Amino acid sequence: MADVFNTEKRSEIMRQVKSKKNKSTELRLIEVFKENGITGWRRNYAVKGHPDFVFPKQKIAVFVDGCFWHGHDCRNTRPADHQDYWQKKRERNIKHDQEITAMFEARGWTVLRIWECELKKKNVSLLSKRITEIIR
C-alpha cells in the first residue's frame, strides 16, 4: 500500500513519535520471572544506564532489547526505504549498548541482555534456564 503522505510529511510525523518504554516486552519478562519464582528484581531503578530491571543485591542489570532496534537479525527484516538511515540508527544503538554494558561491568555488575524474540513462547524455556543460572 502506498503511503498517503509525501516523504517530508511522513518524516515530520515520525519525528513526533516518542518511545514509551518497551512495556509489552517488560511485562512479558515479569511473567517469566513470576513463572520461575524469580524475586528480588526492581523496575525503574535509579541507576546510571537505565536497565529495564535490576537485581540490586546481586548487582545484575537486565536489558530487554528490541530485535530490530538493537541489531538482532532473528527476523532479517530491513525497511526498503531509507536503508542508510536505519542501518546507521541500528549501529548507533549497538554501540551505545556496548558502552552501557562496559560501564556496568566496570562497576562490578553482571549484565543480562535479553532479545525480544527470546520472550516468545517457543523460546521461553531456554530463556528461563539462562535467567535462573545467572540470578541464582
Domain ranges of the chain: 20-135
Nearest one of 88, 94, 100 to 115, comparing CA atoms: 94
The whole-model pTM stands at 0.81
DSSP β-bridge partners for residue 114: 64
Assign a CATH topology to domain 20-135.
Answer: Endonuclease; Chain A (3.40.960)
How high is the pLDDT of residue 19?
A: 60
Exposure string of 29-60, with b = 16+ CB inside 10 Å and e = fewer, is beebbeebebeebeeeeeeeeebbbbbeeeeb
Cα–Cα distances in angstroms (integers) from residue 8 to residues 12, 13, 14, 89, 93, in the given order: 6, 9, 10, 19, 24
Mean pLDDT of the chain: 89
How high is the pLDDT of residue 69?
A: 85
Determine what percent of the chain is predicted with pLDDT higher than 70. Answer: 94
How high is the pLDDT of residue 76?
A: 65
- Give me the mean pLDDT over the 57-68 stretch: 93
Q: Say whether pLDDT at 15 is over 80.
A: no
How high is the pLDDT of residue 49?
A: 93
DSSP label of 120: S
- Give me the mean pLDDT over the 112-122 stretch: 93
Task: Give the containing element (helix H, strand E) for 42.
Answer: strand 42-43
Task: Give the containing element (helix H, strand E) for 100.
Answer: helix 83-106
Strands 60-65, 110-115: pairing is parallel
Determine what percent of the chain is predicted with pLDDT higher than 90. Answer: 60
Q: Say whether pLDDT at 40 is over 90.
A: yes
Angle at 110 between CA 36 and CA 67, to 5 degrees: 70
